Amino acid sequence: MIFLSCKEDLYAYNAYHLVKAFFSEEEVHQTVDQGLGETLRMKFPDGQILTVEECELSGIEDRKQRKYMVDVKLYKACQSYTKRELAWGILTGVRPTKLAMQKLEEGMDEEAFVDWFTKDSFVTPQKARLAYEIAGREKQILSGLDCRDGYSLYVGIPFCPSVCSYCSFSSGSVDAWKDHIEAYVDALLKELSYIGERAKEKNKKLNTIYIGGGTPTTLSEEQLDRLLTHIDRTFSREFLLEYTVEAGRPDSITEGKLKVLRQHEITRISINPQTMQQKTLDLIGRKHTVEDIRETYALARELGFDNINMDLIAGLPGERAEDMKNTLSQICEMAPDSLTVHALAIKRAAKMGQEKTTTGTIASLEHAPVKMGEELPKMIEEAYEAAAKMDLMPYYLYRQKNIAGNFENVGYAKVDKAGIYNILIMEEKQSIIAAGAGASTKILLDESIIVPGSRNQRKTTLMRVENVKNIKDYIGRIDEMIERKGEWLWR
pLDDT tens, residue by residue, 125-145: 999 999 999 999 999 999 889
The model's pLDDT over 262-275, given as tens digits with 9 standing for 90+, comes to 999 999 999 999 99
Task: Please report the pLDDT score of residue 466 as a whole number.
Answer: 95
Band of residue 458 on the pLDDT scale cut at 50, 70, 90: confident
Per-residue pLDDT band for 174 (boundaries 50, 70, 90) equals: confident
For residues 341 and 378, what is the distance between their CA atoms, to the nearest angstrom? 13
Alpha-carbon span 281 to 274, nearest angstrom: 8
Split at pLDDT 50, 70, 90, the class of 116 is very high
Average pLDDT rounded to a whole number, residues 8-18: 94
- pTM as predicted: 0.88
* 3-state DSSP of the chain: CEEEEECCHHHHHHHHHHHHHHCCCCCEEEEECCCCCCCEEEECCCCCEEEECHHHHCCCCCHHHHHHHHHHHHHHHHHHHHCCCCCCCCCCCCCHHHHHHHHHHCCCCHHHHHHHHHHHHCCCHHHHHHHHHHHHHHHHHHCCCCCCCEEEEEEEECEECCCCCCCCCCCEEHHHHCCCHHHHHHHHHHHHHHHHHHHHHCCCEEEEEEEEECCHHHCCHHHHHHHHHHHHHHCCCCCCCEEEEEEECHHHCCHHHHHHHHHCCCCEEEECCECCCHHHHHHHCCCCCHHHHHHHHHHHHHCCCCCEEEEEEECCCCCCHHHHHHHHHHHHHHCCCEEEEEECECCCCCCCCCCECCCCCECCHHHCCCCCCCHHHHHHHHHHHHHHHCCCEEEEEECCCCEHHHCCEEEEECCCCCCHHHHHHHHCCCEEEEECCCCEEEEEEEEEEECCCCCCCCEEEEEEEECCCCHHHHHHCHHHHHHHHHCCCCC
Residue extents of the structural domains in the chain? 2-82, 96-141, 153-432
Label residue 349 by pLDDT band (50, 70, 90): very low
Instruction: Give 105's contacts (C-beta < 8 A, 6+ positions apart).
Output: 139
Task: Name the band, by pLDDT with cuts 50, 70 and 90, for residue 362.
Answer: very low
Give 213's contacts (C-beta < 8 A, 6+ positions apart). Answer: 156, 157, 158, 159, 160, 169, 171, 246, 248
> Which among 234, 233, 229 has a CA at the least distance from the CA of 219?
229
Residue 119 has pLDDT above 90, yes or no: yes
What per-residue confidence (pLDDT) applies to 169? 53
**pLDDT of residue 18 exceeding 80:** yes
Name the pLDDT band for 373 (thresholds 50, 70, 90): low
| Mutual angle of helices 63-82 and 9-22, in 10-degree steps | 20
Identify the residue with better confidence: 188 or 426.
188
Mean pLDDT, residues 322-348 = 90
The values of phi and psi at residue 256, to 5°, are -60, -40
- CA-CA distance, 351 to 361, in Å (whole number)? 14
pLDDT at 70 over 70: yes
Tens of pLDDT, residue by residue over 396-420, are: 999 877 776 778 999 999 989 999 9
Q: Which of 127-141, 230-244, 446-460 has the lowest mean pLDDT?
A: 446-460
Rounded Cα–Cα distance for residues 305 and 263 (Å): 11
The answer, yes or no, to whether residue 41 has pLDDT greater than 50, is yes
Q: Are 135 and 104 in contact (CB under 8 A)?
A: yes
Average pLDDT, the chain: 89
pLDDT score of 460 = 87
**Confidence at residue 165, expressed as pLDDT on a 0 to 100 scale:** 56
Q: Is the pLDDT of residue 363 over 90?
A: no
Give the model's confidence band at 348: pLDDT under 50 very low, under 70 low, under 90 confident, else very high: very low
pLDDT at 487: 82
Percent of the chain with pLDDT over 90: 74
CATH number of 153-432: 3.80.30.20
Higher pLDDT: 144 or 204? It is: 204
Q: Is the pLDDT of residue 167 over 70?
A: no
Distance between CA atoms of residues 490 and 204, nearest Å: 9
